A and B are shown apart, each in its own frame.
Chain A
Amino acid sequence: MSVEAREARQPWILLAPAISAVTLLLLVPLIFIVVYSFWLRTATGADQVGFYLDNWQEALTDRFYRDILFSTLRIAAITTIVCALMGYPAAYFIARSRGNKVILLLLLMLPFWISYIIRTMSWINILGVSGALNTLLMSVGIIGEPLNMLYNETTVILGLVHFLLPFMVLNVFVSLDGIDTNLEDAANSLGATKWQSFIQVTLPLSLPGLAAGGLLCFVLGAGTYITPLVLGGPRDAMFANLVFEAIITQLNWPLGSALSLMLLVVLGALVMIYNRYLGMAQLMKGLG
């Protein structure tokens, strides 16, 4: 074999293990559940191989599934907006602070490294019947009986915001930090007020970061089933909970396949739209 041919083969040898892993453990399984979603789970528990539209008909026409899909998207949207409102000013503060930016950013990223389940359950310590807030309010005498603040949609959103806020802050920070501050100074020297130069210069330039953070918050928020299980009531199930129920509890795997594909299509469409207009590079900046 010639030297050139060996040289050309080398990267493929290096790439082969990773590419085969992703192909065998992600791509082929995804194609498999597309096929699987047309099979039928019979009353005996065996799968009937074939081309049945029953699962899809159930997933697409049952009002129960549609309602939960919409409420999942609503919860994810509210979470994303709250993350943006809380995270943008914080990211702006870090990016424009005269102190040690790295330390400030690391500090806010610290909870990101703390276990998701611990952070989620920590809200029970705060809002539970004998939690910090009730204890505080009772000892001050504002309330006589502990309030039931937990296990509703608001606490689910609260838990999600706590989980996803670092993603938002990091992405907005990355794009704010990349803006040349001379641009703002130029706007100011040309007579713009600070507020005007923020609205007309800084904010538009930081929109890609805001969009990247928003996409991550939305997609990760809409795909969760743990937060509703821990912080939600029995009626606060999200779409991923339906998938979990179908697969783990009811063992109706073909239906579970159809439901997970529905979630994939809805969230995948968002990623595609994002990729079409902004490209994946911005999303990767925050991770690298």
Chain B
Amino acid sequence: MRWGWQLIRLWSLLVYGFMFLPVAVVVLLSFNASQFGSFPMTGFSFRWFVELWNNDAIMRAFRTSIVLGLLTAVISTTLGVLASLALVRYKVPGANAISTLLIAPILVPEVVLAVALLLFLNFLGLHKSFTLLLFGHVIFTLPFVILVVQARLVSIRRDVEEAAMSLGASPVQTFFQVTLPLMLPAVLAGALFAFTISFDDITGTLFWKPGGVETVPTQIFAMLRNSISPEINALGTVMIVMTVGLPLIGAAIARQLARKSGT
């Protein structure tokens, strides 16, 4: 039966190849000197990254995406951490129903969520704007933050807090000096998740964004209408480095913090 395992191995190798090949081609083509964003490779060049840097529309989209992602991460993580604390630390009547309610935004297809939010806030007089975009991003990142933070929070032992209190710390002191440092990896993981999801979103963003405002994904989408320009490949490479690099750095920091706090 050894060949059976070899077959599975070969198949898995092909699956890995399938997942990585297109991404690798994007990175490869972004260094292509040719003026078309396609094969053949005519030489190695950084010119598309320079063009990217000098492209106002793209740089504006980058700034919008980063501001939006950071605000989303801050709001969503705050709401998510508070709710997770309540769900993990207290006996709340109807906790199951509340959990289901809080993760509902990922159970509803994003298109439907986008339509409902857009039309309702429009009805209330809040038209397409950055605020609407922010509301939208907060609501669909919130479930992910709650799931990630809750999963980590369960592992923090209650007796450490009780020890602090019995030694005379007030509940507020206990929270800031004991609970929060222990929770920090969970909080950072939640924030990182929210930022990455917000930074990557296009499905809802295309519904909510006001005219003239572009995030990086919608900017790429708009540029695709013509044809693939080499700049898109360069932008893709930057995005890949950011979206892969950030979580890796985040995970490393989280592990470092976790090691320091001894959990």
**Residue positions of A touching B, CB distance < 8 A:** 10-12, 14-15, 17-19, 21-23, 25-30, 32-33, 36, 86-87, 89-90, 92-94, 107-108, 110-111, 113-119, 121-126, 128, 130-132, 135, 162, 165-166, 169, 193-195, 219, 222-226, 229-230, 240, 243-244, 247-248, 253, 256-257, 260-261, 263-264, 267-268, 271, 280, 284, 287-288
Contacts and interface: CB of A to CB of B under 8 A. Distances in A.
In this complex, the interface size class of chain B, counting residues with CB under 8 Å from chain A, is: 35 or more
Nearest to A28: B120
Contact of B244 (A32, A114, A162): A114
Interface centre among B1, B26, B100, B207 (most CB of A within 10 A): B26
B12 A26 contact: no
11 contacts: A19-B83, A108-B16, A111-B23, A117-B220, A118-B23, A165-B19, A166-B19, A223-B109, A223-B203, A268-B108, A271-B107
Given A22-B105, A26-B113, A92-B8, A119 B23 contact: yes
Contacts of A125: 22, 25-26, 29, 37-38, 228, 233
B109 A264 contact: yes
Given A17-B79, A36-B119, A86-B18, A243 B111 contact: yes
B176 interface: no
Interface stretch (B46-54, B145-153, B156-164, B177-185): B145-153
B221 A230 contact: yes
A126 B22 contact: yes
A237 to B, nearest CB: 13
A162 B21 CA distance: 11
Contacts of B239: 114-115, 118
Given A14-B90, A32-B123, A90-B16, 16 more contacts: A22-B104, A26-B139, A29-B116, A29-B117, A33-B116, A33-B119, A86-B18, A89-B11, A114-B244, A119-B23, A125-B233, A126-B21, A226-B203, A240-B111, A256-B119, A260-B111
